[in-house]
A and B are shown apart, each in its own frame.
Chain A
Amino acid sequence: MALSASKLKVGDVHSARLVEDLKRTQIVQYAGASGDYNPLHTDEIFTTQVAGYPSVFAHGMLTMGMTGKMLTDYVGDARLTKYGVRFTSQVWPGDTLDATATVKAINNGLAEFDVSTKNQDGVEVLSGYAEARIDA
């Protein structure tokens, strides 16, 4: 399952659809599993009337978690050594997200990747990097 250095080259791109038409229920699932019950993510009344946003929005960590699936499907289980992101735009119910990992460097049994997740309008919602152990 893991990647091998002999078959990988700088510039290779792996992409995956993370979610199509993100449902509020999935955001509720993430709130329950992660323990982050911030009403901004699940409570439409609070979020629109008190916080001043147009609707509830996803936890940044839900996007990072979904993007993590793209990475682990690509590099293999328990192979990541680093994974870091900036949340560059909010993710809303109804969004469709696609993520890509682009090989940036390969050396000493490690591969580095640029990571990016975009919504259906092409707006980047997450920007980051990852590093994984690869086979020879």
Chain B
Amino acid sequence: MAAKTFPIEAGHILMFARSVGDDNRVYSDADYAKTTEAGGVIAPPTFVQSSAQFDPDYFLRPKVGQPWFGSGKNPTGIVRAPGGGGGGGGGGGLHAEQHYEYHLPLLAGDVLTATTFPGKTWEKEGKRSGKLVFSESVTEYRNQKGELVVTARGVGVRTERPVEQPAKKEEA
């Protein structure tokens, strides 16, 4: 994630919690949330993933005036679909792992600053999708006081070809 500034907004938390099927009122009801240990509306554990919304260059969001690889008139808007961290065409990228460390509660009203460091890259031969190339990145999210709130480590994998389906039990 290359979002520099990530405002933690109550409405965004509400939408995000709904999307993961979480009706806990600590994510949606400020009066109720004040009575909880959290002391206010907090963000669900995986919420920082949505910092993508605040990354102006995030490649998995259509942008004004630029080609988009999803379907419209044709099955894809560009000849060769981009790959990378989140995915793409053919044997593109998939999300392999995600890890979080929570240092402080993440409260509505906080403003986070994200700093991303590249991690390791490694390869493996997969049974269902050919050669797998894994790459890791670590993002530190600090609040408006400069305190470390969340550390996120993501691992993406690029596959040689789409993951075969019948043998669902093996690793991608």
Contacts and interface: CB of A to CB of B under 8 A. Distances in A.
B121 interface: no
Interface string A56-84: 00011110111011011100111011111
Contacts, number: 178
A72 B46 contact: no
Interface string A31-49: 0111111111011011001
Query: Is chain B's binding surface mostly helix, strand, loop or mixed?
Result: loop
Query: Is chain A's binding surface mostly helix, strand, loop or mixed?
Result: mixed
B140 to A, nearest CB: 15
A64 B50 CA distance: 13
Interface string B107-124: 000000000000000000
A89 B50 contact: no
A128 B164 CA distance: 23
Contact of B95 (A26, A71, A73, A87): A87
B128 to A, nearest CB: 10
Interface in B38-64: 38, 42, 44-46, 49-53, 55, 58, 60-62
Interface extent on A, as a size class?
35 or more
Contact of A81 (B38, B102, B172): B102
B90 A34 contact: no
Nearest to A40: B87
Contacts of A80: 45, 100, 102
A35 B61 contact: yes
Interface string B21-44: 110101000000000111000101
Nearest to B107: A78
A53 B169 CA distance: 17
Given A85-B98, A87-B94, A50 B81 contact: yes
Interface of A: 1-2, 18-19, 26, 29-30, 32-40, 42-43, 45-46, 49-54, 59-62, 64-66, 68-69, 71-73, 76-78, 80-90, 121, 123-124
14 contacts: A29-B15, A36-B86, A37-B60, A40-B87, A42-B70, A43-B71, A49-B76, A62-B19, A65-B19, A69-B22, A72-B24, A77-B26, A78-B42, A86-B97
Task: Please provide the 3 A-B residue pairs with the shortest distance between their CB atoms, ordered closest to farther.
Answer: A84-B99, A65-B20, A39-B70
